[in-house]
Amino acid sequence: MCKTIWGEHNGSVQQCDEYPFASTDERASTGAPQPSDPQWYSVRVIDAEDSVHVGRDLLESDFYKTNRVLDHDQFYVRVDT
Instruction: Please provide residue 20's backbone torsions phi and psi, each rounded to the nearest 5 degrees.
Output: -60, 155
Say whether 16 sits in a helix, a strand or coil: strand
Q: What is the pLDDT of residue 30?
A: 66
Report pTM.
0.65
pLDDT of 6 reads 85
Dist. CA 51–CA 54, nearest whole Å:
5
pLDDT at 29: 66
Task: Give, for all 81 residues of the chain, the pLDDT tens digit.
Answer: 788 888 888 878 999 888 888 788 777 766 666 767 777 788 889 999 998 888 888 888 788 888 898 988 998 888 888
